[in-house]
Chains A and B, each alone.
Chain A
Amino acid sequence: MSKKVLVVDDAIFMRNMIKDIFASGGFEVVGEAANGLEAVEKFKELRPDLTTMDIVMPFKSGIEATREIVKVDPRAVVVMCSALGQESLVMEAIEAGASDFIVKPFKSEDVLSVVRKVLGEA
C-alpha cells in the first residue's frame, strides 16, 4: 500500500511541485495545507505516514506546527522543507520533533531518497 503524504507549504507552486514529486515516486498525497494552523488540523484528520512542512508560513510557523503534530502523535514523521540560510530554524524544528529535512532548491530524487530513508524503506 502506498504511503500517505500531507504537503504543507504556503506557496501553491511549491505544493504542486512537491505533489508531483511524490506522485512520481509512488506515494499518495492525501492532503495539503497552506499554513501551520491548517497543517495541524489536517494532520489530525488524515493521519498521514509523512508530512512535508515548510518553515516560514502565516498564522503558525512550520516549527510550531511540527511541535503540535508530534505532541498529537510522537511517531509522526515530519520532514522540513527549508532553504539555504535557514539552518538555525531547521535545528529548532529538529528540536521540536522533525525527523529530517530537505533543502530547497531540491531535485525530485533527493526528496524521494530522504523520505524513503526516513520511512525506513531505503
Chain B
Amino acid sequence: MELDLSKYLGLFVSESKDHLEALSRTLVDLERAQAGEVPELVDKMFRHAHSMKGMASTMQFDGIALLAHRAEDVIGVLRGRSGPIDAEVVDLLLSAADSLLGMVEASAGGGAPGAPSQPLVDSLAQAFAALKRGERVPAPEAPTAVDAPPPPAPAAPPASAGALRLAVEVEVAGACPVPSVRGYLVLKRLEALGTVLAASPGHDDLKAGRIPDRRLTATIETTQTPQAVEQALAQIADLAKVVARPAGEEPSPPVAAAKAEAPAEAQRTVRVRAELLDEFLDVVGELLLATARLRAVGRAIPEAQRRPHDDGVDRLHSVVKDLHLKVMAARMTPLTVLSDRLPRAARDLARRGGKQVDVSVSGAEIEIDRSLLEDIADPVLHVLRNAVDHGLETPAERIALGKSATGHVEVSARRERDRVVMEIADDGRGMDPERLRQAAVERGALSREQAAALSDAEALELACLPGVSTARAVTDVSGRGVGMDAVKRAVEAAGGSLQIESRRGQGTRIAMRLPLTVAVQPVLLVRVADEILALPVSKVHGAAEVELEKLERSGGAPLLGFGGTHLPVHDLATLIGLSPGRATGKRSVVVTEGGEGRVGLAVDQLLGQEEAVLKPLHRPLSLVPGLSAVTVLGSGRPVFVLDVPRLVAA
C-alpha cells in the first residue's frame, strides 16, 4: 500500500522549521555559554539535527536528510566536549541550518527541495574529519557557492555500522476500537527493537488519539533483520498489516509527483491563515458599526415602546463585544516571534564588523496584536543594527576604555497598563548631542540659535529628523546610523511613541512604547461647524466650557487654566482650514496631548464617546498632516480621527 506522504507535508514543514530555528538559537547560545553548559546545549543541537534528519528521510527528502546527517555528524563529534566551540564551527553549522531551512521552505509548496549545496556538504564533511582528528576547523575560504552544479541525487545517509535502517509500516485492524493505543504499542515495541528515527504519527499525536487511516509508518535503525522486526510486531494483536523492509527499497514516487494540492494537515496545532484573522477583525468591526446603527435607528421609536428594542441592542452589543475580545485574543502573538531572531541577527552583524556582542532578551512572552508585531519588526531590527554597527565599539576599543571586550545589547519588553514598552539598550559609545546639533544645522533643519537652545535630551531627538541621522559624520561619531526617522515614523504609525536616552561612553537606550492591540479605540466625537471629527480618548485629559474672550492671552493665543497650569487654546476650525469659529460666548474646549505638552482645542459641540473601528488611511489622505485614521459612525458617516500633535505643528 502506497503511503501518501504529501498528506504529512504541512506538518513536516512546520515541525522542521521549529527544529531548525531552535538549532540556530542554540548555536548562538553556545557561543556565549559557560563551559559547564556546553554539553547540554550540544545535546540539544544533536536532537534537533537528528529529528530533522529522521523526518526528512521519512518524507524521502534525501537532500535534506543528507545535509542534516552531515550536520549531525559534526555535532556528534562535539558531544562530550566541555570546552568552548570555535566560532568557525558555529558559522558552519549556522549555514547548514539556514540552508536546511531554505530547503524545507522550498518543499512547502509541494516541490522537491533538491540537492544541498555541495560545497556546504563538503565543508561539513571536512569539519567532521578535522574535529575527529582533534584539529581546528579552517575558516571557509570563499562563501559557499550557490550555483554549484547539482550533484546526482544523494543516497540516503548510511546507517551506523552493523545497524540496518528499516522502513516499517503498520496498519491497525478495523475492528480495534482504539487504534491510536495500538499504534502507541507498536511504537513502544519498535523503540525496544532499535532507534526510531522517525515515526508518523508520533508519540504526541498517538497520545491525542490521532492515527490517520489507522496507519503508522516509522524509520528505525536496528541490528535486527526485517523478518525479526515483523515477527516481533506480529505478537501485537489487532494489526491488519505489518511490513518491515530496508529503507529506501520500496519504489515510491517522489513527493513532488504526488498530488499538487498537497493538503497541509495541521495536526498538533490549528494554524489559521493570518489574513483570516484580519478578516475576522474587519467583520467584527462591521458588526460593531451595525450595532451602533441599530441603536441610532431605535431613537426614532417612541420612548414608551423603545425598551424591547434597546434591550435587544444591549444584548447584541455585549455579544459583539465578547466576540471582539475573542478575536483580539486569537490575534495576540508573543514577542518571541520577533525576539528569537535578534540574537542571531546581532551575532551576524557583530561577526561582520569584527565585534563581539551578547544579546539578552527578557519579557518576550508578552503578547501583542500580530499586525503590530509586523509593524515593529523592521524598526526593532533597525535599532538593533544601529546598536551593533554604530553603538558598540570593537573589542580592542572596549578594552582600552576599561569595558568588557564583549558588548551587551539588552532587549526587554514589559507591560505598562495597556501598553507594551520594548527597549533596546546597548553599552556602547552612546550618542553625541553636540554632533547632532551640528548636523541638524548643516542640514538646514535648525538655525544655529535654535540648535543651541536645545537641551541634550532634545538634541538626541534630532536623530529622528530625516537627513540628520543618515548624515555620514553623525553615523561615525554619534553612533546612530540608519534611518532613525524611519524607525520613529513606523513606531508612531503603529500608534506608539519612541524615546531615546543616551550617555556618551555608556550607551544608548531606545524605548518603543506600543499599544497592545489595534483597531478599536474609544474616540471623543466633536462637532466643528458642519464637520464631525474624532479625537482618541486615550489622549484626552479633560474638557471645559469657557468664554474664550475672557481668557488671558499670550502671543495671541488664549490661555486655559487647567490642572494648575495654563494651556494654549487653538480653534480647531482654524486648524483644519475652516473659517474661524465664534470668538464670543461659551465654547467647549477639549484638553488633549499636543506634541509639546497639552493643548486646548475649541470646538462647537462635544458629541460624546464612541467605540470606533479605526481604519488606516491610504494615499492621498495619508499624506494630509493631522489625520491619523478614519472611522464610520453608526449613521454611516465617515469621520476622521485627528492626530493633534501634527495638526498643531503643521
Residues of A close to B234: CB separation below 8 A: 117, 122
Q: Is the CB of B207 within 8 A of A90?
A: no
Q: Is the CB of B209 within 8 A of A87?
A: yes
Residues of B close to A113: CB separation below 8 A: 237
**A100 at the B interface (CB under 8 A):** yes
Q: Interface 1/0s, chain B 92-132, versus A by CB < 8 A?
A: 00000000000000000000000000000000000000000
Q: Is the CB of B237 within 8 A of A87?
A: no
Q: Is the CB of A120 within 8 A of B235?
A: yes
Residues of B close to A88: CB separation below 8 A: 207
Residues of A close to B185: CB separation below 8 A: 94, 100-101
Q: Interface 1/0s, chain A 92-122, versus B by CB < 8 A?
A: 0011000111110000000001100110101
Residues of A close to B207: CB separation below 8 A: 88, 91
A120 to B184, CA, bound (A): 20
Q: Is the CB of A103 within 8 A of B235?
A: no
Which chain B residue has the least Cβ–Cβ distance from A77? B235
**A1 at the B interface (CB under 8 A):** no
Residues of A close to B206: CB separation below 8 A: 91
Min C-beta distance of B640 to chain A, whole Å: 57
A103 to B184, CA, bound (A): 15
Q: Is the CB of A94 within 8 A of B188?
A: yes
Tally A residues with Cβ within 8 Å of B: 19
**B606 at the A interface (CB under 8 A):** no
Given the known A-B contacts A95-B188, A118-B235, are A101 and B181 also in contact in the complex, defined by CB atoms under 8 Å? yes
Min C-beta distance of A83 to chain B, whole Å: 10
Q: Is the CB of A84 within 8 A of B177?
A: yes
Q: Is the CB of A94 within 8 A of B184?
A: yes
Residues of B close to A95: CB separation below 8 A: 188
Min C-beta distance of A122 to chain B, whole Å: 8
A91 to B180, CA, bound (A): 9
Residues of A close to B237: CB separation below 8 A: 100, 102, 113-114, 117-118
Residues of A close to B178: CB separation below 8 A: 82, 84, 87, 90, 103
Q: Interface 1/0s, chain B 514-525, versus A by CB < 8 A?
A: 000000000000
Which chain A residue has the least Cβ–Cβ distance from B209? A87
**B493 at the A interface (CB under 8 A):** no
A95 to B188, CA, bound (A): 8
Residues of B close to A90: CB separation below 8 A: 178, 181, 184
A78 to B336, CA, bound (A): 46
Residues of A close to B209: CB separation below 8 A: 87
Q: Is the CB of A117 within 8 A of B180?
A: no
- Select the residue from B181, B185, B188, B206 with max chain A CB neighbours within 10 A: B181
Q: Interface 1/0s, chain A 68-95, versus B by CB < 8 A?
A: 0000000000000010100110110011
Residues of B close to A99: CB separation below 8 A: 235
Q: Is the CB of B181 within 8 A of A91?
A: yes
Residues of B close to A94: CB separation below 8 A: 181, 184-185, 188
Min C-beta distance of A20 to chain B, whole Å: 20
**B236 at the A interface (CB under 8 A):** yes
Partner of A91, one of B176, B184, B238: B184
Which chain A residue has the least Cβ–Cβ distance from B239? A117
Q: Is the CB of B235 within 8 A of A117?
A: yes
A interface residues with partner B (beta carbon < 8 Å): 82, 84, 87-88, 90-91, 94-95, 99-103, 113-114, 117-118, 120, 122
A-B residue pairs in contact (CB < 8 Å), sample of 23: A84-B178, A87-B180, A87-B181, A87-B209, A91-B181, A94-B184, A94-B185, A94-B188, A99-B235, A100-B185, A100-B236, A101-B185, A102-B237, A103-B176, A103-B177, A113-B237, A114-B237, A114-B238, A117-B235, A117-B237, A118-B235, A118-B237, A120-B235
> Considering the complex of A and B, which 6 residue pairs feature the smallest CB-CB distances, nearest first?
A114-B237, A90-B181, A91-B184, A117-B237, A87-B181, A87-B178
